[in-house]
């Protein structure tokens, strides 16, 4: 029997961290939900375990901890907190990410005159900045275009593509397998880490579409079949 990677979610009490944690725990991964507050993390993990129980999923391990306490046992660390908070987290804990696969899901967006746009980011994208701050981490930008509300509905499959941008091919392959573990998402190789900036721009477009059409959109790239 192969052991599935243990996944940590920094800021995992948020919608995206809970959604991915839920889906990947359902797929059998041990999941550690992180928070600035151990109590919030423990509560969020208990709620997710209950949700999985109702759905009849057996859970390997789903626990809540202080953000930093998730790191030692994690094989893959999701930075699932607001982008504006990343620098402070990495300044304090970044060296603990050395050698680990770090998944950047962050969209540095801002709302200007009722329209979402990408906020200027030093280094070009959230993932590029994460890598500059933690050069020994194996950063993969992914899940930026996913909708947390879809992930949180365990009774429905999640359709669409997850674009992956990374320079470390092995790390990208590991994250692609995590995408495949969530029915029926498809991973799409979107090239080097620098292309994460384009993924962030796509999210800005999706959020503008969501506002205009009062729907929750996701994306599918045609022509790759
Ligand atoms: N929501 C989506 O559909 C979606 C989709 C794709 C990507 N994303 C990206 O995923 C990330 C998380 O999104 P989200 O919607 O889950 O965000 P969120 O709910 O606003 O924040 C996630 C968690 O970050 C922590 N946090 C909030 N403010 C913080 C601060 N000042 N310092 C440190 N931690 C703080 C909170 O956890 P504690 O208070 O428990 O510490 C919060 O639960 C974002 O970067 C977003 O761009 C979101």
Q: What is the DSSP string of the chain?
A: -PPPPPEEEETTTSHHHHHHHHHHHHTT--EEEEESSHHHHHHHHHHHHHHHHHTT---S-EEEEEGGGGSTT-SEEEE-S-GGGHHHHHHHHGGGGTTSEEEE----EEEETTEEEEPP-TTSSHHHHHHHHSTTSEEEE-STT--HHHHT-TTS---SEEEEEES-HHHHHHHHHHHHTSTT-EEEE--SGGGHHHHHHHHHHHHHHHHHHTS-------S--
Are 147 and 163 in contact by the 8 Å Cβ rule? The answer is no
28 C-alpha to center of ligand 1: Å?
Answer: 24
Calculate mean pLDDT across residues 82-98: 98
**For residue 111, how many C-alpha atoms fall within 13 Å in the half-sphere facing its CB?**
4
Calculate mean pLDDT across residues 3-11: 97
Q: Is the CB of 19 under 6 A from ligand 1?
A: no
Average pLDDT, the chain: 97
> What percent of the chain lies above the pLDDT cut of 70?
100
**Residue 225: predicted pLDDT:** 85
Substitution site in 13, 14, 46 for ligand 1 pocket (most atoms within 8 Å of beta carbon): 14
pTM above 0.75, yes or no: yes
Nearest atom in ligand 1 to 106's CA:
45
Q: Give the pLDDT band of residue 2 (cuts 50, 70, 90).
A: confident
15 C-alpha to center of ligand 1: Å?
Answer: 7
Q: Is the CB of 36 under 6 A from ligand 1?
A: yes
Q: Is the CB of 80 under 6 A from ligand 1?
A: yes
Q: Give the pLDDT band of residue 156 (cuts 50, 70, 90).
A: very high
Calculate mean pLDDT across residues 202-208: 98
pLDDT over threshold 70, residue 1:
no
Q: How far apart are CA 19 and CA 154, in angstroms?
A: 9
1 C-alpha to center of ligand 1: Å?
Answer: 34
Query: Could you tell me the residue ranges of all domains in the chain?
Result: 7-213
Calculate mean pLDDT across residues 151-165: 97
Q: Is the CB of 140 under 6 A from ligand 1?
A: no
Q: How far apart are CA 73 and CA 57, in angstroms?
A: 23
**Residue 173: predicted pLDDT:** 98
**CATH architecture observed for domain 7-213:** 3-Layer(aba) Sandwich (3.40)
């Amino acid at each position: 029997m192969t052991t599935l990677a243990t996944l940590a979610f920094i800021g995992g009490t948020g919608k995206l961290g809970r959604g991915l944690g839920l889906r990947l725990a359902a797929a059998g991964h041990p999941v550690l939900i992180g928070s600035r507050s151990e109590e919030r993390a423990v509560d969020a993990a208990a709620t997710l375990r209950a949700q999985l129980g109702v759905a009849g999923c057996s859970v390997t391990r789903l626990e809540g901890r202080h953000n930093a306490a998730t790191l030692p046992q994690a094989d893959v660390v999701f930075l699932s907190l607001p982008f504006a908070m990343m620098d402070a987290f990495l300044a304090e804990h970044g060296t603990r990410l050395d050698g680990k696969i770090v998944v950047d899901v962050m969209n540095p967006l801002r709302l200007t005159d009722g329209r979402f746009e990408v906020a200027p980011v030093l280094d070009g994208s959230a993932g590029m900045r994460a890598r500059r701050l933690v050069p020994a981490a194996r950063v993969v930008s992914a899940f930026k275009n996913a909708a947390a509300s879809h992930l949180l509905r365990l009774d429905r499959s999640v359709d669409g593509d997850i674009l992956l941008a990374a320079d470390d091919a092995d790390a990208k392959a590991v994250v692609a397998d995590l995408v495949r573990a969530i029915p029926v998402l498809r991973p799409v190789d979107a090239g080097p880490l620098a292309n994460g900036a384009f993924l962030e721009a796509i999210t800005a477009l999706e959020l503008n579409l969501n506002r205009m059409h009062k729907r929750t959109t996701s994306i599918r790239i045609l022509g790759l079949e």
